[in-house]
Structure 1
Amino acid sequence: MLTLDKIYHASYVLKDVIRRTDLIYAPKINPECEIYLKPENLQLTGSFKIRGAYYKISQLTDIEKEKGVIACSAGNHAQGVALAATKNGIRSLICLPDGAPISKVEATKSFGAEVCLVEGVYDDAYKKALQLKEEKGYTFIHPFDDEYVMAGQGTIGLELLDQLPDVDVVIVPVGGGGLISGVAYAIKALNPNIKVYGVQASGAPSMLHSISHEKIECLNSVYTIADGIAVKEPGTHTFDICSHYVDGIVTVTDDEISTAILALIEQQKLIAEGAGAVSVAAALFNKIPIKGKKVVCLISGGNIDVTILSRVIKRGLLKAGRSYALTIELLDKPGQLMGVSKILAEMGGNVVSIHHERASESSDINGCYLRIVMETRNYEHIAQIKKALIDAGYNLS
């Protein structure tokens, strides 16, 4: 079972392997509290997973090491196992869901592992890994439901308490539960007064449902941009530890996650993947009681697929009221566009694109529609622009 001694031992084993990530003060995330970020996205493999994977592999017997190791992952555990195995001179095979970002697949290969792509999501890759384990005799490295893996992740909790002893609240991303189990166990063992909250994507709330119904539940499907925590079913051990040591679990939407990713880029110059940003999203949108508290948000990873980063930023801009599309019904005559442009310029709206089209057959025969996409400061700014247009006699649709 997981013990504090194991977590301290893991800390000793990992001291020359992992980066001891600093705490970063981030006052703009939520001005009502004192927020610090623990950027595990700056870890050697881009996520916290190297901690648990390396400690687990370091504790294998010589016979287990000779067999080679196999793992399943949405991407981050894969890279952790690959690097840990290579550093220990062990062969590794990683089963990844075929929807895993190409960047994570290639990074896993670059750390020295063989890769087996499996159709479906993480849970399908898990089944395939167990099948190959039985067929080939590999040693299986579970991504979260393992005492040594959890102990490795728990070293983050020890670091947090050393860096900010008077922390009030720690917010942790949750997929299968390995990270929060290790962190919560370490923190509660040393200071039970500190609150530990978990955050899941609203499209993959497996631990939340399981804790709420007091039994492990498997979701029929998961859908979220936070692929690193898109897990259908929590682990047996992680469910038990979360039930005893975690103070609550909340969910955030993909739009809220996108806003958090954008905030981290703009305010902190940090790149977080969807799974890594859920803790910040929870603080940003007040999903957890943190007013007046000292809070640490754990950014679990930064291995976001760069091909979707622009889409995520666009969603974040929309959610934050930084981008807005306006449709105006006009008479099709000279000077109409000039009048609209004058108001937008006076109100400080920055036009990104304009589309003009004749009205449909159901509208006035002399009518037309003007669709404008513009950059705005926030929702209040949008309301001011709309009011100015309406006051000037324009019809918004």
Structure 2
Amino acid sequence: MKLIDINEIKKAQNRLQHIIAQNPLAYAPRLSKVANTQVFLKKENLQLTGAFKIRGAFNKLASLKEEDEKNKTTILEQGVICASAGNHAQGVAFSAQHFRTKAVIVMPEATPLLKVTGTKAMGAEVILAGNNYDEAYTHALNLAKERNLTFIHPFADREVIAGQGSIALEMINEECLDKIVVPIGGGGLISGIASAYKALYPTTKVIGVNAKGANAMKKSYEQKKIQNSQFVKTIADGIAVRDVNEGVFECILAGVDEIVEVDDEEIASAILFLLESQKLVVEGAGAAGVAALMHHKIDVEPRHKVGVVLSGGNIDVTMLNIIIEKALLKSDRKMKFQVILVDKPGSLQKLTELLTKEGANIVFINYSRVSTKLEYGDAIVELALEIKGREHKESVQKILLQNGYKFNEIL
């Protein structure tokens, strides 16, 4: 597959103009300071379905509608089907509802509940199958044949890619950017963006970001030959794609200047940073570009203007809670530990008074005296404290040791 013709992307933009939320590029001062460059965010997490995928899906179904009208066929009326980790699913479901046709969506079994319920709410039939996108994809292809449905590929489709490329036209219209940072799963988003930039502003560098646990595209790009993964494992479920599509790979080789990778810890820190500093809820895939900048995976200069695509915001609440909890522990804003006490009246009160005097806020206590590891007459207490950073933590630890408490920190 070659780069998408700019006229196809402009045609997609026209189809989408009354559907897409026009979210302008937003300068991010705090992120700019961390990354030591000028960073602008493209907030696709604020789209109607919570992700950029609505662009490609709607453009594809709109093109099918036009084909039906031109050739007097009923392709769209028969219904559509897709495989998706969630965001493409909601894009297809919304588009099918708009064009009044049925949609069947096959999702991996581990898809976050938020994405499943969001897709069902748009009237689609949802089928959970497979451990990852690629297994769901195989199942969807089989169902497409059985039910005579049109398969809407999430990334290896020219109309889908053209729809995603409309993001670049909006960015080009607002800022002259030196670099564009884009998450890569299957590669449809970056293919569309790269196609637009290479046609209109070829000096702008297009940089992709893979999750380390799903980095087949990065390996393939570096070796100039497809290198599929045996399995994928990452919190960025939106870019957890195991296999590389040949057509998309050719497009990426032609239009992408560099691919870097970030691990789950880096992605998690970016999610929390965006939540705290930008007041934005962004999923793992959407935060990948920010993670790359925060952890200096991309060469930038202070004078550069760098655009980052926040591709989606459909993060599972449970995952968000885990990320926040772990981040609080790592940043010394929370402390968990176990301590052995003599099981008698006043022992726990003495400990809590000591911690309170030290300025630690106790948010959790579990008191047990039945553990087989305890001596008779002892109790084990697990506590969680809100603290104010490294120095405060060290102060709490010091006061515990000075008062004869032996404790084990829980990480």
Using structure 2 for the length normalisation, give the TM-score. 0.84
| Partner-residue secondary structure (3-state), 1:71 | strand
1:220 and 2:230 correspond? yes
Contact 2:210 2:260 survives alignment (8 Å) = yes
Contact 2:155 2:189 survives alignment (8 Å) = yes
- Distance in 1 (CA, whole Å) between partners of 2:165 and 2:306 is 18
1:88 and 2:99 correspond? yes
The corresponding residue for 1:236 is 246
Equivalent residues in 2 for 1:279-294 (5 A)? 279-292=289-302, 293-294=304-305
Q: 1:252 aligns with which of 237, 262, 287?
A: 262
Contact 2:341 2:347 survives alignment (8 Å) = no
Contact 2:85 2:238 survives alignment (8 Å) = yes
Equivalent residues in 2 for 1:349-388 (5 A)? 349-353=360-364, 372-379=383-390, 382=393
The corresponding residue for 1:108 is 119
- Distance in 1 (CA, whole Å) between partners of 2:77 and 2:374 is 76
Contact 1:255 1:315 survives alignment (8 Å) = no
In the TM superposition, what is the alpha-carbon distance from 1:328 to its structure 2 partner? 6.8
Taking a change above 3 Å as real, the CA distance of residues 357 and 29 of structure 1, as seen in their structure-2 partners, is farther
The corresponding residue for 1:6 is 8
Equivalent residues in 2 for 1:121-160 (5 A)? 121-160=132-171
In the TM superposition, what is the alpha-carbon distance from 1:14 to its structure 2 partner? 0.7
Structure 1 segments unaligned to the other structure (5+ residues): none
Taking a change above 3 Å as real, the CA distance of residues 128 and 366 of structure 1, as seen in their structure-2 partners, is closer
Equivalent residues in 2 for 1:1-397 (5 A)? 1=2, 2-31=4-33, 32-60=36-64, 61-62=67-68, 63=73, 64-165=75-176, 167-292=177-302, 293-326=304-337, 346=358, 349-353=360-364, 372-379=383-390, 382=393
In the TM superposition, what is the alpha-carbon distance from 1:10 to its structure 2 partner? 0.9
Structure 2 segments unaligned to the other structure (5+ residues): none
| Partner-residue secondary structure (3-state), 1:65 | coil
Contact 2:335 2:384 survives alignment (8 Å) = yes
Taking a change above 3 Å as real, the CA distance of residues 184 and 97 of structure 1, as seen in their structure-2 partners, is same
Taking a change above 3 Å as real, the CA distance of residues 21 and 342 of structure 1, as seen in their structure-2 partners, is same
Taking a change above 3 Å as real, the CA distance of residues 278 and 145 of structure 1, as seen in their structure-2 partners, is same
In the TM superposition, what is the alpha-carbon distance from 1:202 to its structure 2 partner? 1.9
- Distance in 2 (CA, whole Å) between partners of 1:341 and 1:317 is 23
What CA RMSD, in Å, does the superposition of the two structures yield over aligned residues?
Answer: 3.1
The percent identity for this pair of structures is: 44
Using structure 1 for the length normalisation, give the TM-score. 0.87
Deviations 1:173-220 (A, max 9, x none): 111111111112212322222222222222211211221222222211
Contact 2:61 2:95 survives alignment (8 Å) = yes
Worse-superposed segment, 349-358 or 86-95 = 349-358
Taking a change above 3 Å as real, the CA distance of residues 137 and 317 of structure 1, as seen in their structure-2 partners, is same
Taking a change above 3 Å as real, the CA distance of residues 182 and 336 of structure 1, as seen in their structure-2 partners, is same
In the TM superposition, what is the alpha-carbon distance from 1:357 to its structure 2 partner? 7.8
Deviations 1:135-174 (A, max 9, x none): 3322111000111111110111111121222x22222111
Contact 1:259 1:319 survives alignment (8 Å) = no
